[in-house]
Amino acid sequence: MKAVQIQSFGQPLEVAQCVELPDPGTPSAGQAVVALEASPINPSDVLTLSAQYGLLPKLPAVPGNEGVGRVLAVADDVKNVRAGDIVLLPAGAGTWREKLAVPAARLFPMPPDADRQQLAMLTVNPPTALLLLRDVVELQPGEWVIQNAANSGVGSYLITLARLRGLKTVNVVRRDSLIEPLKKQGADVVVVDGPDLSKQIAAATGKAAIRLAIDAIGGEATARLAHSVAPGGTVVNYGALSGEPCRVTQQDLIFRNVTLRGFWLAHWFNQATPADQMAVFGQLIKLVAEGKLHAPVEATYPLSRIKDALAHAMKAGRDGKVLLTPG
């Protein structure tokens, strides 16, 4: 079967190869064999290939942190899924392959009529957006939240989830061409990042006391968010799109009592109870199935074109996700 594999870490376009690996065959006890239908290329995948992510696989490795597939076969002792089911693949299962054998207990059955491409993107970005809104600051309906990289996967989901909770969003982007598309999606305010960001946000929100800002970029972008929240506000960083450490001035940290903290979904997976995980994914699956939660897809590529897919996913100015399919 075809799979993407890396033998070493390095420049993603150099280390990622499409190879032939053994077919998983008949499932062992407690297992299901699943055929991949779609798997996205996330920033965390690119960082993993270049050894810059917080959790790295043992080499050689098949990358891919999420995806959706169709169950081909299950062991006799498996009762929660059956052949033909559409399932959400386990987080971090190495999904960039045609088939994989996984513990059946870790599979989430999906609504059969839901959009497969949208389901493929359900494990990483949607729960990140939901938890950033839910667990960092206890926000009340009517409050504002700021986010940068608002056209990203997490940013797109956050706009929708905030609106469903009655929250209002200030969405920071890097170019004017993104303003109208995000407003059509439901963004309340969209502004272009720059030295005057805090003044733009104050003018657009009527000087609202904003208690939460969500940062995917790092560097000076973090500092601009910290200067835009109210005294005592919180900036939470979940990404490093700039490749730079987060920066916050002493003026904001000390005199304005702004808090900077981090968020990593892997910690939540390790610490959340099974009941909480089921509740979060149950909510998200329902929203996707109803067509209320959606992220743009810019292109799909077969596994055999992994280098083209990675080049596209790493391209600046992209307006949608890049997905991998079996072929």
Residues 11 and 91 in one domain: yes
| Spatial distance between the Cα atoms of 148 and 155, rounded to a whole number of angstroms | 8
160 found inside a domain: yes
Contacts of residue 312, defined as CB under 8 A and 6 or more positions apart, other chains included, come to 298, 299, 301, 318, 322
Here the CATH number for the domain that contains residue 211 is 3.40.50.720
Is 238 known to be catalytic?
Answer: no
289 found inside a domain: no
Residues 150 and 261 in one domain: yes
Here the CATH number for the domain that contains residue 28 is 3.90.180.10
Residues 103 and 148 in one domain: no
**Residue in 255, 253, 218, 259 with CA at minimum distance from that of residue 235:** 259
Residues 112 and 89 in one domain: yes
Residues 176 and 240 in one domain: yes
- Domain hosting 242: range is 127-266
211 found inside a domain: yes
Residues 311 and 246 in one domain: no
138 found inside a domain: yes
pLDDT in tens, the chain (327 residues): 999 999 999 999 999 999 999 999 999 999 999 999 999 999 889 999 999 888 899 999 999 999 999 999 999 999 999 999 999 999 889 999 999 999 999 898 899 889 999 999 999 999 999 999 999 999 999 999 999 999 988 999 999 999 999 999 999 999 999 999 999 999 999 999 999 999 999 999 999 999 999 999 999 999 999 999 999 999 999 998 898 999 999 999 999 999 999 999 999 999 999 899 989 999 999 999 899 998 889 999 999 999 999 999 998 778 789 999 998
Q: What's the total number of domains in the chain?
A: 2
Query: Which pLDDT does position 89 carry in this prediction?
Result: 94
Residues 170 and 253 in one domain: yes
The last residue of a domain, from among 221, 251, 266? 266
Residues 67 and 160 in one domain: no
Alpha-helical runs (H) found in 136-252: 153-164, 179-185, 197-205, 220-226, 250
pTM for this structure?
0.90
Q: What are phi and psi of 215, to 5 degrees?
A: -115, 125
Residues 106 and 150 in one domain: no
301 found inside a domain: yes
Query: Which pLDDT does position 295 carry in this prediction?
Result: 87
Query: Which pLDDT does position 16 carry in this prediction?
Result: 97
Query: Which pLDDT does position 163 carry in this prediction?
Result: 97
314 found inside a domain: yes
Residues 253 and 134 in one domain: yes
75 found inside a domain: yes
Pairing of strands 321-325, 297-302: parallel
Residues 261 and 135 in one domain: yes
Residues 195 and 153 in one domain: yes
Dihedral sign of CA atoms 138, 154, 157, 89 in order: negative
Partner residues linked to 168 by β-bridges: 144
